[in-house]
Each structure stands twice: as structure tokens, then as C-alpha cells.
Amino acid sequence: MDKHLKSITTYLLGLSLRERLLLLLIFITVIYAAWDGLIYSKQTQLYQQLITQKQELAEQYQQKQVTLAENLAALRKQNSSKEQLLQEIANHKQQLTAVNVEIDQVLGSLVPPTKITELLHSLLLKTQGLKLLALSNKPVEAISIFDNEQTEEAVSDSQTNLYKHSTTMILLGDYQQLYHYLKMIEQSKWGLYWDQLEYKVTDYPKAQITLDVHTVSSDQYWIGL
């Protein structure tokens, strides 16, 4: 080893200054090339990979932020729609309750279906000379309190079901007797709706009157009649 170093040293000492500088430059170039190939290039490549990964992570983060913002906006909109729907339901229930109260008040003033025949007979007894020729009840009819089918279906579970109970009676008497009877019906403490009134003179001053009246209740049938 020492012999090799002495040979190299002797060789270098034998070179001129220009040759020594040239040899030094070649040595430095070789060292730089080796460093660039083995270390610097790999570090540069690794640095570029880190930059690329950083950009990808930044893009992913930005995309997640956008997605999160969209989800939050959708959630706020959904909650707003839900609150609006709940408010509409609450308003509708309040209106329905008010309607039911009004209906109960009206029904409370009307003659019950079980009393309509009794009422007509009792008033007839108070009118002398007036004769009842016929008295019959018509089939019960359902009444809708809503304007359209969509509204009716929307509250079908909570609406008050109403039914129309109609009665037809045929009376015979003079004008004053018939007028007095109709007046008593009108002044009765029980409410009763008139549907149709047909007046026909048979043998003057006698006349025949056909009267259609009805009441309204929540009973679907002619219970007790």
C-alpha cells in the first residue's frame, strides 16, 4: 500500500503545474458526478415526490371541504323544510280543531236523528185540524266539510264525519194551519233544515203540503228510530 502511495506521489511530483491542475479538475469532476448520481439526484427525485404528494393531499383536502360544505347546506335545507312542514301540520291541526269546535256548536243546536220524528209529531199535535198523511225517513247521506278530495284525504284520519238524516212528510190542511205548523218548526229550540216545500191545493181551502227536512249528526245510522 505504502509502495503504491509513494509511486503516486512520485508521479504527481513529476508532473508540471498545468498537468497537476488538470488532473485535480478531472478528480473533482468525477467526485461531483458520483455525488450527483448517487445522492443529489435521488434527493431531488424524493423532493419532487413529496411536492406531488403535498399537492394531491391539498386537492383532496379542498375537495373534502367542498363536500362538507355541500352536505351542511343540504342538511340545513332539509331541516328548514322539515321545520316548515311541522309548522304547516301544526297550523292545519289548529284550524281543524277550530272547525271541529264550530261543528260541535252547530250539531248541539240541531235536533238529534233519534228525536226528529218525535219533534214533528209533537208540533203536529199542537196544530188543530192539520192531518199527517205520510212520514218517512230517507237513507242517510255522508257530508263532506271540505272543498276538494285532496284536502279531504289529507285529514281523513282526524276529520269529523257528518251525516245528513232527511225526513219527508205529507200534510193536509188549510193555509193557516200549514203556516202555523211551519212557523212552530222554525221557532223550535231544535234546529232543522228545510230542503224542499211543495204546496198543492186539493179541495179549497184544503191543501196538501210535501215537506222535506233534515238534520245533521255524527251518527251514521237512524239509531233508535
Examine residue 224 and state whether it is found in any structural domain, yes or no: no
Same structural domain for residues 166 and 136?
A: yes
Residue that is last in its domain, among 91, 109, 127: 109
List the one residue out of 177, 209, 192 whose CA is nearest residue 116: 192
Q: Cα–Cα distances in Å, from 12 out to 2, 15, 110, 142? A: 15, 5, 135, 126
User: d(Cα 133, Cα 178) in Å, to the nearest integer?
Assistant: 13
List the one residue out of 224, 177, 221, 166 whose CA is nearest residue 199: 177
Among 12-21, 116-125, 133-142, the range scoring the smallest mean pLDDT is 12-21
What pLDDT shows up at residue 210? 93
The residue that leads in pLDDT, 205 or 145, is 205
Same structural domain for residues 121 and 173?
A: yes
Same structural domain for residues 103 and 121?
A: no
Same structural domain for residues 92 and 136?
A: no
Q: Cα–Cα distances in Å, from 28 out to 8, 21, 37, 40, 78? A: 17, 11, 14, 16, 72
Examine residue 223 and state whether it is found in any structural domain, yes or no: no
Which one of 51-55, 135-139, 141-145 scores highest in mean pLDDT? 135-139
List the one residue out of 96, 98, 201, 216 whose CA is nearest residue 167: 216
Same structural domain for residues 134 and 62?
A: no
- Model pLDDT for residues 103-130, shown as the tens digit of each residue: 656 666 688 888 898 999 999 998 888 9
CATH number at residue 157: 3.30.70.60
Same structural domain for residues 1 and 80?
A: yes
Asked if residue 155 lies in contact with residue 97, where contact means CB atoms within 8 angstroms, the answer is no
Residue that is last in its domain, among 109, 130, 150: 109
Residue that is last in its domain, among 72, 93, 109: 109
Same structural domain for residues 5 and 51?
A: yes
Same structural domain for residues 147 and 176?
A: yes
Examine residue 222 and state whether it is found in any structural domain, yes or no: no
Same structural domain for residues 84 and 123?
A: no
Same structural domain for residues 103 and 6?
A: yes
- Model pLDDT for residues 167-208, shown as the tens digit of each residue: 999 999 998 998 899 899 888 888 888 888 898 988 888 999
Examine residue 105 and state whether it is found in any structural domain, yes or no: yes
Q: What is the pTM of this model?
A: 0.52
> Into how many domains does the chain fold?
2
Same structural domain for residues 117 and 187?
A: yes
Domain coverage including residue 15 = 1-109
Examine residue 225 and state whether it is found in any structural domain, yes or no: no
Examine residue 40 and state whether it is found in any structural domain, yes or no: yes
Among 129-138, 139-148, 172-181, 212-221, the range scoring the smallest mean pLDDT is 139-148
- Model pLDDT for residues 43-100, shown as the tens digit of each residue: 566 556 666 766 776 777 778 788 878 887 887 777 777 777 677 777 767 776 666 6
What pLDDT shows up at residue 158? 45
Q: How many residues in the chain?
A: 225
Same structural domain for residues 124 and 102?
A: no
User: d(Cα 191, Cα 112) in Å, to the nearest integer?
Assistant: 9
User: d(Cα 15, Cα 7) in Å, to the nearest integer?
Assistant: 13
Examine residue 170 and state whether it is found in any structural domain, yes or no: yes
Examine residue 193 and state whether it is found in any structural domain, yes or no: yes
